[in-house]
Amino acid sequence: MLIDRKSRFLTREEMIGFAILAVVIFLVLPLALDTFRLNLFGKYLTYAFVAVGLVLCWGAGGILSLGQGVFFGLGGYGMAMFLKLEASTPEATAIQSTPGIPDFMDWNQLTALPWWWEPFHSLAFTMIAVVIVPVAVAFIIGVAMFRRRVGGVYFAIITQALAAILTILIIGQQGFTGGLNGITDLRTLKGWDIRSDEAKEILYFVNGALLFACLFVAQYVRRSKLGRLLIAMRDQEDRVRFSGYDVASFKVFVFCLGAAFAGIGGAMFTLQVGFMSPTLVGIVPSIEMVIFAAVGGRLSIIGAVYGTLLVNWAKTTFSESFPELWLFGLGALFIAVVMAFPNGLAGLWSEQIMPRLRKRTGGGNGAPASPAPVAGLSEVRKAAAE
Partner 1 sequence: MFADYSMGELTAIFAMQGFAGLILFSIFVLMALGLAIIFGQMGVINMAHGEFLILGAYVTYITSHVFQDVMPGLFSIYFFVAMILAFIASGALGMFVEWALIRHLYKRPLDTLLATWGLSLILQQAYRSIFGAREVGVTIPDWMMGSVYLTDMIEVPINGLFVMGLTVIIFAAVGALMFRSTWGRSMRAVVQNRTMAEGVGIDSEKIDRLTFGLGCGIAGVAGSAFTMIGSTGPTAGQQYIVDTFLVVVFGGAGSLLGLVASAFSISQAQSILEFFLSGSMAKVLTLLAVVGILMLRPQGLFTLKLRK
Partner 2 sequence: MTDFTKPRQPAGPSRRAVLAGGAALTASLFTPKGLRAQDFPTAAVNTTGLAVTDDTVTVGILHSVTGTMAISETGSVQAEKLAIEQINAQGGVLGRKIQFIQEDGASDWPTFAEKARKLLVNDKVASVMGCWTSASRKAVLPVFEQYNGMLYYPTQYEGLEQSPNVIYTGQEATQQIIAGLDWVSRDKGAETFYLIGSDYIWPRTSHKIARKHIENFLGKKVVGEEYYPLGHTQFNSVINKIKLKKPDVIYAIIVGGSNVAFFKQLKAAGIEMTEEKPIVLSISTSEDEILGVGGENANGMFFSAKYFQTLDNPINQKFVSDFKAMWGPESVVGEVTHNAYIGPWLWKLAVEKAGSFDIDKVRAASPGLELDTPAGMVRIHENHHLWSTTRVGRARDDGQFDVVFETADLVEPDPFPDGYQ
In the stretch 188-207, what mask flags binding to partner 2 with x, by CB under 8 A? -------x------------
Report the candidate in 80, 59, 84, 56 with the shortest Cα–Cα distance to residue 133: 80
Nearer CB in complex with partner 2: 108/236: 108
- Number of residues binding to partner 2, judged by CB under 8 A: 38
Residues with Cβ within 8 Å of residue 359, at least 6 apart in sequence: none
State which of residues 31, 324, 368, 378 lies at the interface with partner 1 (CB under 8 A): 324
- Rg of the chain, C-alpha, whole Å: 22
Say how many Å lie between the first and final Cα of the chain, rounded. 39
Rounded to 5 degrees, φ, ψ at 159 are -65, -35
Alpha helices in 224-246, H assignment, sequence order = 225-235, 237-242
Phi-psi region of 277 (alpha: psi -120 to 50; beta: other; left: phi over 0): beta
| 140 versus 327: smaller Cβ distance to partner 2 | 327
- DSSP 3-state assignment of 11? coil
Residue 148 touches which of partner 2, partner 1, none (Cβ within 5-8 Å per kind): partner 1
No. of helices (H) and no. of strands (E), the chain: 19, 2
By CB under 8 A, tell whether 345 contacts partner 1. Answer: no
102 in contact with partner 2 (CB under 8 A): no
Residues 31-60 that bind partner 1 (CB under 8 A): 58
153 forms part of the interface with partner 1 (CB under 8 A): yes
Answer whether 128's CB lies under 8 Å from 82's CB: no
Indicate whether 109 belongs to the interface with partner 1 (CB under 8 A).
no
Residue 180 interaction partner, one of partner 2, partner 1, none, beta carbon < 5-8 Å per kind: partner 2
Residues 6 or more apart in contact with residue 105 via CB below 8 angstroms: 98, 113, 175, 176
Residues 6+ apart with CB under 8 A from 340: none
Query: Is 384 among the residues that bind partner 1 (CB under 8 A)?
Result: yes
The residue ranges that bind partner 1 (CB under 8 A) are: 58, 64, 66, 140-141, 144-145, 148, 150, 152-154, 156-158, 160-162, 164-165, 168-169, 171-172, 283, 287, 290-291, 294, 324, 327-328, 330-335, 337-339, 342, 384-386
The residue ranges that bind partner 2 (CB under 8 A) are: 34, 36, 39-40, 43, 95, 97, 103-104, 107-109, 168, 171-172, 174, 179-182, 184-187, 195, 273-275, 277, 279-280, 316, 319-320, 323-324, 326-327
